[in-house]
Structures are given as C-alpha cells and as structure tokens.
Amino acid sequence: MKNKSRLAGKLMRRYLLLTGGMILIFIIFPLILKMVLSSRTWYYSDPLYPLLNFVNRMLVPILALVAVVIWVSGTFLFIRRAANYLNETLAAAKQLVQEPEKEIELSDDLADFAVEMNRLRVRSLLHQQAAHDAEQKKNDLIVYLAHDLRTPLTSIIGYLTLLEESPELPPEIRGKYTGITLDKAYRLENLINEFFEITRFNLASVSLTTHPTELSVMLQQLSYEFLPLMSEKNLSWEQELASDIWVDIDTEKFERVLDNLIKNAINYADPGTSLNLHLAQKNNQGLLTLENQGATIPEDKLARIFEPFYRGDSARGTQSGGTGLGLPIAKELVESHHGTLQAKSSEGTFTMILTLPLSSTHQATYTITHS
C-alpha cells in the first residue's frame, strides 16, 4: 500500500507539472506575441492582418481550446502510462507463477514493486522447498519403517525355522526360542502401528526417553538373538566387551541402531568368518567397534554409505543387501544421542566405529524391550 501511494503521488505530480506547464506556455506565449505585435501599426493591406485580426478577436476561445486539447492529451498519455505499468505488473505476476526461479525486473518507476515481488518470490520458493522437504521426509520415513519391519520378521522366521527343523530341542531351549520369537512379534506389531502413525513421527527431531544403561549387557543379549541368522552363513562371534560402561540412551531406539549395524555386518560378511565386537572406554566416551570380513569398499563408495538408499554392492538383492536405509537410520539415531558413527574399510575388513558420551549416573539396570 505504501509503494502504491508513492507511485500514485509521483504520477500525479508529473501529470500536474506537465499539463500545467504546457497550458501556461501556450497561454503566455500568445499573450507575449500579442504584445509584440501590438508594438507596430498594422494596415488592411498587410497580408497577415486578416489572420491577426481574427486571432485577436477570438483569443480567449482559442486559448481555452488549446488548454483543453493539452489537458486531454496529457491525460491520455498518463492513462496509457498507468496502463503500461499495470501490464508490466501483470506480466511480473505471471512470471512469479510460471518462472519463480527467475528474478523479476521492472522499470525504474516500479522498482519498489520489483523489490517487494522478489521478496514474495523468495518467500514462496522457501515455502515450496519446505513443503517438498516435508513430503520427501514423510516418504523417506515410511520407507525407513518398512525397512525396519524386516529385522524382527527375519528373527521370527529364523527362530521358527530352527524350532521346526530341530524337534529334538530340550523343552527349556524350545521355550526360550518361543519367548524370543514372541518378543520379536510384539516388536513387529509395534512397528506396524508406528507405520500407520507416520505423520506424527519426525526423524529430524527424534523424541528420546533416555536411561543410564550398561552397554555390555545390552550387546550380549542382542548379539545372542542374531545367532540363528548368523548360522545361515556359518558366522560366529568374537567379543571383547568391557563391563561397567554406562551410557544414557533410549534403549528402544538404540536397539534399532544395533539391529541395523549387526544385520549389515551379517549381510556383507564372508561365509565362515567371524564378527568382531569390541566395547571399551576411551576418555569420557564409550567406544564400540563392529568388524566383519568382506570385500574392501573403495573410498568413494565408503563416503556414501550413510546416504539414504545407497547400497555399496548393487549386485546384491534387497533380500541380502538391504535397501540402503539401515545405516542412515543408525547414524541419525546415534547423532540424536550426541554420539558419532563412522565406517572404515581396508584389506578385506569393514569396521563400524560408534562413540557415545558416558553417563553421569552409573546406577541403573537394563531390561531389553521390543516395542
């Protein structure tokens, strides 16, 4: 509104100055000319006398007619200029819709409008990008959860297959495997519920409920649950877990981190090798490393393994190689715990290095949950 008033005032001043100035010129000039011509005596025999006599008698009507003509012409010119401004503004509005990436340029008189429209254009682009990012994030989260459904489902299938193929198992072992399978089934159910409530889940601002947890106990329980899956590739554990390393974590979400890391190690480990799991304290952090033997990953690919949907070995199917979401999910959740997650690969060894700040409280008990 302020820019509109400024432009209207500018046009009105120009209009008054132009029309008023022209009217004054065409009125004053004939009066001056009359005074000059009156300084001499004109006779009937002079060729200009009839014309000058007519002008002298009709001077007032002629001046009025000239003033009207000038006023009408000036008004027409300024109306046409205002229409040009309107057309220019409409063209800029059309460009704002059809080509929002292109900067809007207007004439000097409309410079204020150009600045305001470019501000609107930038704001609109930011809103569009935010809406696109939100939609992309929502779609990614749906895929993330769909990916995570596979982890408990794989464990369920593994334990049920083991129970079916080993009818001679002692009742206590069979009961233990049945209990683990039921826990995994509950976890699968909760993940499905989370899938249907995806619009209320935002990975960029994960809500954590942390508790002091002894990490070695959690690792021992989780690593044991992957034995059926490891047996399919004749893999074994080599563990060196320091005790009394407490960290503040959301056990449910951090279990997802470890699930993804261990499953990734199993998927890409060479058959008949071992997975090396080490936990130690370094300065004021817990240091966890997970190694598996397999193909060396080149540096250019290693730098991309935490990108969503990137799979280092495109020759693998999604059944064995995953969808490329496990490690990005793990990194996102680790960083939400103020930790770090890195990867190294050399001489046929792939290593995940995870660090977490130590807890300031060392008195707690950890009970693994599958929710």
For 266-332, the DSSP string reads HHHSPTT-EEEEEEEEETTEEEEEEEEE-PPPPHHHHTTTTSTT--S-TTS-HHHH--S-HHHHHHH
Task: Give the 3-state secondary structure of residue 17.
Answer: helix
| pLDDT the model gives residue 358 | 93
The span from the first CA to the last CA of the chain, in angstroms, equals 57
Sorted by sequence, the CB contacts under 8 Å of residue 162 that are 6+ apart come out as 169, 177, 228
Per the model's pLDDT, the better-predicted residue between 273 and 37 turns out to be 273
Q: What percent of the chain has pLDDT over 90?
A: 20
Please, are residues 353 and 287 in contact by the beta-carbon 8 Å criterion? yes
**115 pLDDT exceeds 80?**
yes
Domains of the chain: 2-128 (no CATH), 149-201 (1.10.287), 210-371 (3.30.565.10)
Mean of pLDDT values over 10-17: 72
**59 pLDDT exceeds 60?**
yes
Sorted by sequence, the CB contacts under 8 Å of residue 316 that are 6+ apart come out as 267
Per the model's pLDDT, the better-predicted residue between 335 and 21 turns out to be 335
- pLDDT of 147-181, one tens digit each? 777 778 888 898 899 888 888 888 888 898 899 89
For the CA atoms of 169, 171, 173, 178, what is the dihedral angle to 10 degrees?
100
**335 pLDDT exceeds 70?**
yes
Confidence class of residue 304 from pLDDT cuts 50, 70 and 90? confident
- pLDDT of 179-223, one tens digit each? 989 988 887 887 776 566 544 444 455 678 899 999 999 999 998
Q: In the chain, count of helices (H) and strands (E)?
A: 12, 7
Per the model's pLDDT, the better-predicted residue between 7 and 260 turns out to be 260
Per the model's pLDDT, the better-predicted residue between 335 and 56 turns out to be 335
Q: What are the Cα distances from residue 34, in Å, to 30, 38, 39, 43?
A: 6, 6, 9, 16
Per the model's pLDDT, the better-predicted residue between 67 and 206 turns out to be 67
Mean of pLDDT values over 366-370: 38
Highest mean pLDDT among 28-32, 35-39, 78-82, 316-320: 78-82
**286 pLDDT exceeds 90?**
yes
**311 pLDDT exceeds 60?**
no
Q: What is the mean pLDDT of the chain?
A: 79
Sorted by sequence, the CB contacts under 8 Å of residue 109 that are 6+ apart come out as 7, 10, 85
Confidence class of residue 254 from pLDDT cuts 50, 70 and 90? very high
Confidence class of residue 37 from pLDDT cuts 50, 70 and 90? low
Confidence class of residue 104 from pLDDT cuts 50, 70 and 90? confident
Q: How far is the C-alpha of 104 from the C-alpha of 126, rounded, in Å?
A: 16
